[in-house]
Amino acid sequence: MLLAILFFNAGSDRRLRTSPSRGYCWGLDLQVNPSPSEMLPNLFGGSQRDGAKHTQKYRMNTKKRKRKDHDLRYEGYHLPWTEGDGWLPRNASINTGTFGYEGYCLLPAEGDEGLLRGTCSKIRTFGSIISTTAVLHYANSAGKAPGPLPGGPTIQIDWSLNQARSIRWNLTASGPRPNPQGSYHYGLVPVTRTIRLANSAATINGKQRYAVNGVSYVNPDTPLKVADYYKIGGVFSVGTIADNPSSGGAFLQTSVMGANYRDYVEIVFENSEDEVQSWHIDGYAFWVIGMDGGKWSAASRQVYNLRDGVSRYTVQVYPRSWTAIYMPLDNVGMWNVRSESWARQYLGQQFYLRVWTPSTSLRDEFPIPKNALLCGRAAGRQTRPL
């Protein structure tokens, strides 16, 4: 497994060295957004020798919660991509850059000779490039890795877009089907609602904040799902974030978007900024149906992939680009939609999607756990007898 870790230098502020999470939040509150000082694969430098003589599967994880814009490049191989976020791709191989995937598997062919070398570069964010190189020596490799790695583009996004769009679901995996994906196909379900989500940076009350459709999220004094369950007023209001980007200035709000159970929604993530965005939706998997540069419009639907798009939990949006997904709202609850960048998430780039049904059936949603810890305005309330 190749795991790239970024290390941040605390500098002269001792408060930033107390603990990774608390210190990082303090730094953001003080308007200090530290840059990484180094990057290490698997927490060590240099190379690793693999004595195996058979086919090996390598799991590549890019844990980049502070910033989601690493570039992974591999020298000398078109590596078969065997799995990504739990789905099986169709005839996919990797030899260029990848963004936004939480993890994927590569499968070099048995008998391959030589070296596999991967470089992880930090780009598009801090104004400078930080790189590290990991070299994997096979049992039958005697020499050193030849020459420098081919350079990857650091500004252009076409190469990343083209590769991301080339990853398709293998519809013939797991046995033959009389109809692709059985009787249910995401591209044939009527869309009941379109939601456009635009990220933005803003200054509110003299401080750096980030927003979704002009709303920068602030945490309430009571967990939203608990407040919703006990019908506690004054904690949040449904509809405090719009379905479309706002043309006005950003403001602070506990933003909750309402939605109906079993709706089928089209969500378009729009990124007008110069860095890669990465979005995660709790409680759901969704189909990535399209992405491209420029602004999204209704005409953009003509380039959607409605046949073999991949199922994801997290999706990337390239600079000054858009990404579209289809998602069935088949899970009742209060679900967090957030940036996967810790800094942007902490400073407001998130909101909650309340998927609601008037039914109280246990088929649709379980009741609150008996041992739930209640706080805020719900403190002291009873959970349930069973």
pLDDT in tens, 135-150: 666 666 666 666 666 5
124 found inside a domain: yes
268 and 320 inside one domain: yes
Q: In this structure, are 251 and 134 located in the same domain?
A: no
Per-residue pLDDT, 286: 94
CB contact set of 308 (below 8 Å; sequence gap of 6+): 90, 168, 169, 170, 171, 180
Note whether 51 and 156 are same-domain residues. yes
Same domain, 111 and 75: yes
The three-state (H, E, C) secondary structure of 95-121, written as one string: CCCCCCCCEEEECCCCCCCCEEEEEEE
**Residue 183 within a domain:** no
**pTM (predicted TM-score):** 0.80
Q: With 70 as the cut, is the pLDDT of residue 171 above it?
A: yes
Same domain assignment for residues 102 and 203: no
Domain co-membership, 126 together with 264: no
Q: Looking at the predicted structure, is the pLDDT value of residue 19 above 60? A: no
The pLDDT-based confidence of 169 (bands split at 50, 70, 90) is confident
| 113 lies in the same domain as 229 | no
**pLDDT tens digits, residue range 304-354?**
999 988 888 899 999 999 999 999 999 999 999 999 988 999 999 999 999
User: Same domain, yes or no, for 298 and 209?
Assistant: yes
Q: How confident is the model at residue 241 (pLDDT cuts 50, 70, 90)?
A: very high
Residue 201 pLDDT exceeds 70 = yes
CATH number at residue 343: 2.60.40.420
Number of domains, the chain: 2
Please indicate, yes or no, if residue 384 is contained in any of the structural domains: no
Which of 116, 134, 166 lies at the terminal end of a domain, its last residue? 166
Characterize 212-243 residue by residue with b for buried, 16 or more Cβ atoms within 10 angstroms of its Cβ, and e for exposed: bbbbbbeebebbbebbbbbebeebbeeebbbe
The answer on 212 and 156 residing in a single domain is no
In the predicted structure, residue 63 carries a pLDDT above the cut 90: no
Tell me the pLDDT band of 38, cut-offs 50, 70 and 90.
low
Residue 280: phi, psi to the nearest 5?
Answer: -130, 140
More confident: 58 or 336:
336
Residue 314, sorted as left (phi over 0), alpha (psi -120 to 50) or beta, turns out to be beta
pLDDT of the residue at 20: 44
pLDDT-derived band of residue 46, with 50, 70 and 90 as boundaries? very low
Strands 58-61 and 93-94: unpaired
Q: What is the pLDDT of residue 247?
A: 86
- Residue 74 pLDDT greater than 80, yes or no: no
Residue-wise pLDDT for 242-276, tens only, equals 999 988 899 999 999 999 999 999 999 999 999 88
Q: What is the pLDDT of residue 70?
A: 58
Residue 267 lies in a domain: yes
pLDDT value of residue 358: 93
Q: Which residue has the tokens 């407001």?
A: 348
| Three-class HEC string of the chain | CEEEEEEECCCCCHHHHCCHHHHHHHHHHCCCCCCEEEEEECCCCCEEECCCCCCCCEEEECCCCCCCCEEEEEECCCEEEEEECCECECCCEECCCCCCCCEEEECCCCCCCCEEEEEEEECCCCCCCEEEEEEEECCCCCCCCCCCCCCCCCCCCHHHHHHHHHCCECCCCCCCCCCCCCCCCHHHCCCCEEEEEEEEEEEECCEEEEEECCEEECCCCCCHHHHHHCCCCCCCEECCCCCCCCCCCCEEECEEEEEECCCEEEEEEEECCCCCEEEEECCCCEEEEEEEECCCCHHHHHHCCCCCCCEECEEEECCCEEEEEEEECCCCEEEEEEECCHHHHHCCCEEEEEEECCCCCCCCCCCCCCCCCCCHHHCCCCCCCC
Residues 114 and 222 in one domain: no
Domain membership flag for residue 33? yes
**Is residue 78 in some structural domain?**
yes
> Residue 99 — very low, low, confident or very high, per pLDDT cuts 50/70/90?
very low
Residues 153 and 214 placed together within one structural domain of the fold: no
For residue 311, what pLDDT is reported? 87
Whether residue 178 lies inside any domain: the answer is no
Tell whether 20 and 162 lie within a shared domain: yes
101-136: pLDDT as tens digits: 455 666 665 444 444 545 444 444 445 566 666 666
Q: Is residue 173 part of a domain?
A: no
What domain range is 160 assigned to? Answer: 2-166
Q: Higher confidence at residue 165 or residue 216?
A: 216
Q: What is the mean pLDDT of residues 218-235?
A: 96
The pLDDT value recorded for residue 230 is: 94
